[in-house]
Structure 1
């Protein structure tokens, strides 16, 4: 396995040159520094593609969310004791239901090529389905948390967080539904306001919606 996939590497940001320094200093000491928003996203074309190629929808969404997060530097930034670290890339830390009907946490893989990334994560899913629950170590914060909740839709949701991991973005994905001729899905984004503003959320959503609108390009199944 490529070492880059396994170990995202952080670099310390020069706070003297950091343009959001005052904003960061203001919000970092808040008791509740995270903010949440839920949007409804059109997945019509992506879902058709998933069904046509017999893919696992929850995994596809997890990988596309991670890919979009990697395009926005603020989604790769974490609060550290020395200031702010920015990872060169992030991997997905996500959930799936084990054969025992208990949620299993998976520290996934990320690769630039979608087909490679999908197969690497499917291999982990097959282990979980066989009852082999993998362990994980979140000492390295080069990850984004993705929680798929396919049993119900929602218009708002807030996930638990620890102060240590409060700068790790959390994305929750609910059950899809029909809205006229489109298939929609709720997607909640929880992030630390000391690092991420509404503008950065917009950048992330622009990337994600562009991937979903053109699955043939962004979900190609050839290496």
Structure 2
């Protein structure tokens, strides 16, 4: 990663407008059709949460704004992204685990299983410092309509939250919330990202 001059990027205006705003975060909600994801998860014995995280990474890798992030008072440019997931550890507490994104699903799956198992056993967070991290939190045991993340003023990373998916006769749907810093991207970029998540789900192949 490296610091970039905001005036030399497409985020110059947003940097000027939103970096010092008291509440620069924006949240969008979208209901995804995860029917295919659920079926493939059950058929191939892969974790639904892992597949969601991969689809999120896949979509983000196609939106250039995800590779820039305001850190402190600087705008940083990254060449890699990673997806964070929350892990229930052996002490029944939660730990944080960053998983490097790979276009290859089998590689991502192997990293996901290895790193989440490591974090669950050691109760120590696994942090990746040289990648732009996309946060996720799956409250899969709860039926919620959405969530708005807290803005700490320290972490500006984009963040997705979802609860239990909802099954009908032929379809399975999942409502996600997506919080992002307005300096990093605009609403149109965020909406396109969520559409790309749906596209990644629809095109997922093994």
TM-score, normalised by the number of residues in structure 1:
0.83
How many correspondences in the alignment?
A: 206
In 2, Cα distance between equivalents of 1:133 and 1:81: 28
Indicate the residue corresponding to 1:4 in structure 2.
none
Cα deviations by residue, 1:81-115 (Å, 9 ceiling, x for unpaired): 56422211211121022233211211222222110
Indicate the residue corresponding to 1:188 in structure 2.
177
Indicate the residue corresponding to 1:169 in structure 2.
158
Cα deviations by residue, 1:175-217 (Å, 9 ceiling, x for unpaired): 100245310001110001122111111221222111111221x
In 1, Cα distance between equivalents of 2:71 and 2:115: 30
Indicate the residue corresponding to 1:114 in structure 2.
105
In 2, Cα distance between equivalents of 1:201 and 1:179: 28
In 2, Cα distance between equivalents of 1:89 and 1:63: 14
Residue 14 of structure 2 is aligned to residue 23 of structure 1? yes
Uncovered stretches (5+) of structure 1, i.e. residues with no partner: 1-9
Cα deviations by residue, 1:22-55 (Å, 9 ceiling, x for unpaired): 2321111111110112211000011101100011
Indicate the residue corresponding to 1:134 in structure 2.
124
The 8 Å contact of residues 89 and 119 in structure 2, kept in 1 or not, is answered as yes
In 2, Cα distance between equivalents of 1:23 and 1:205: 21
Matched residue of 2:148: which SS? coil
Cα deviations by residue, 1:109-140 (Å, 9 ceiling, x for unpaired): 222211011111101223345x2223334654
Residue 51 of structure 2 is aligned to residue 60 of structure 1? yes
In 2, Cα distance between equivalents of 1:135 and 1:98: 10
Matched residue of 1:108: which SS? strand
TM-score, normalised by the number of residues in structure 2:
0.89
The 8 Å contact of residues 165 and 172 in structure 2, kept in 1 or not, is answered as yes
Indicate the residue corresponding to 1:3 in structure 2.
none
Indicate the residue corresponding to 1:146 in structure 2.
136
The 8 Å contact of residues 171 and 189 in structure 1, kept in 2 or not, is answered as yes
In 1, Cα distance between equivalents of 2:150 and 2:73: 25
Q: What is the aligned-residue RMSD (CA, Å)?
A: 2.0
Matched residue of 1:107: which SS? strand
